[in-house]
């Protein structure tokens, strides 16, 4: 009976995690849209798209890794900043970045504080 309870708790936990990952996936899609509307070079657009594809791949896994996503989000924001894109608060890309960062957790919060 104790094993069955453990399985039930695990299933509930996975369902909750999946819902949050779905929200992060939605934020990635919103970020892709926001980036498509910015005036950036084709190279920047392509490279950012590949980074977003990597995020989608991670978030689509059965158990996405928050540390991997934190690293990918950090790299993307650094790449965008280095390419002249303003990713700070109040910009079109900040909201979706914040949505992904919320799923990531404490490392995402640290990133937002830095971008703030």
What is the domain count for the chain? 1
**pLDDT-derived band at 116, boundaries 50, 70, 90:** confident
- What global pTM score does this model have? 0.81
- Rounded CA-CA distance 115/105 in Å is 15
Neighbours of 39 (CB within 10 A): 8
Give pLDDT, residue 20.
73
Residues 40-96 have pLDDT tens digits of: 999 999 999 999 999 999 999 999 999 999 999 999 999 999 999 999 999 999 999
CB 103 within 8 A of CB 66: yes
Q: 67: domain range?
A: 2-115
Element housing 45 (H / E): helix 42-59
With 50 as the cut, is the pLDDT of residue 37 above it?
yes
Neighbours of 78 (CB within 10 A): 12
């Amino acid at each position: 009976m104790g094993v069955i309870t453990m399985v039930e708790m695990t299933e509930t936990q996975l369902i909750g995690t999946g819902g949050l990952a779905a929200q992060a996936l939605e934020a990635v899609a919103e970020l892709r849209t926001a980036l498509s509307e910015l005036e950036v070079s084709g190279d920047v657009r392509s490279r950012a798209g590949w980074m977003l594809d990597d995020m989608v791949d991670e978030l689509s896994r059965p158990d996405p890794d928050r540390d991997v996503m934190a690293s990918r989000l950090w790299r993307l924001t650094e790449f965008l900043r280095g390419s002249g894109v303003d990713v700070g608060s109040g910009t079109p890309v900040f909201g979706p970045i914040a949505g992904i960062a919320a799923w990531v957790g404490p490392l995402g919060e640290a990133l937002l504080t830095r971008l703030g």
